[in-house]
């Protein structure tokens, strides 16, 4: 099971943090600080796999990928394959690149809800749902169409107490 997905910038600021099991906010913040301290102290030529038991607890593993100014981090247990998680990071980043045309940190900051929607198409409740970036893009485009359709309904005042659709 995937326990958490983090996207951190190179200064350690979380740009996206999604936890799939309950952790108090203070513990989440502490975890983010600990993960960043481990990532920034690692050399460039070492493995992207980290034993995360000291950070997250028993049976926790961490895999990360560093792209430009962002670290993409997945924390998971032993029921998941480390190479599969690394590939899932790649799917996530490829999908973001397709949505934002060369994703950068500002895309993550200004499109926070879209980032969560993309992640929710890939992972639900800590379980991998979709591994094809093409299928994820189709689902996100459909969500965008539905959102645009719901936003295009014109509302006009019916009376002082309510609204009606035009």
What is the spatial distance between Cα 119 and Cα 103, in angstroms, rounded to a whole number? 14
- pLDDT bin (cut points 50, 70, 90) of residue 166 is low
∠ CA 162-164-166, rounded to 5°: 155
Question: 33 Cβ partners below 8 Å, 6+ apart?
Answer: 12
90 DSSP assignment: H
The predicted structure's pLDDT at residue 147:
82
Q: What is the pLDDT of residues 122-160, one digit of tens each?
A: 999 999 999 998 999 999 889 888 888 877 765 555 555
Element (H, E) at 35: helix 25-40
Share of the chain above pLDDT 70, in %: 92
- pLDDT bin (cut points 50, 70, 90) of residue 9 is very high
**Phi/psi of residue 40, each to 5°?**
-75, -15
Average pLDDT, the chain: 87
The predicted structure's pLDDT at residue 59:
87
Domains (range + CATH), the chain: 2-152 (3.30.450.60)
Predicted TM-score (pTM) of this structure: 0.84
**Phi/psi of residue 44, each to 5°?**
-65, -30
Per the document, the length of the chain is 166
Q: What is the pLDDT of residues 47-87, one digit of tens each?
A: 889 888 888 888 889 999 998 889 999 999 999 999 999 99
């Amino acid at each position: 099971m995937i326990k958490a997905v983090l996207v951190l910038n190179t200064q350690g600021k979380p740009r996206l943090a999604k936890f799939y099991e309950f952790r108090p906010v203070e513990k989440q913040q502490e975890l983010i600080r600990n993960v960043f301290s481990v990532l920034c102290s690692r050399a460039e030529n070492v493995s992207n796999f980290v034993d995360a038991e000291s950070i997250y607890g028993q049976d926790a593993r961490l895999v990360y990928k560093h792209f430009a100014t962002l670290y993409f981090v997945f924390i998971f247990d032993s029921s998941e394959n480390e190479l599969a998680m690394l590939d899932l990071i790649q799917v996530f980043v490829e999908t973001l690149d397709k949505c934002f045309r060369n994703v950068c940190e500002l895309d993550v900051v200004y499109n926070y809800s879209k980032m969560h929607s993309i992640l929710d198409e890939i992972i639900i409740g800590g379980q991998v749902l979709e591994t094809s970036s093409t299928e994820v893009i189709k689902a996100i485009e459909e969500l965008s169409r539905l959102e645009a359709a719901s936003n295009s309904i014109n509302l006009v005042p019916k009376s002082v107490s309510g609204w009606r659709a035009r």
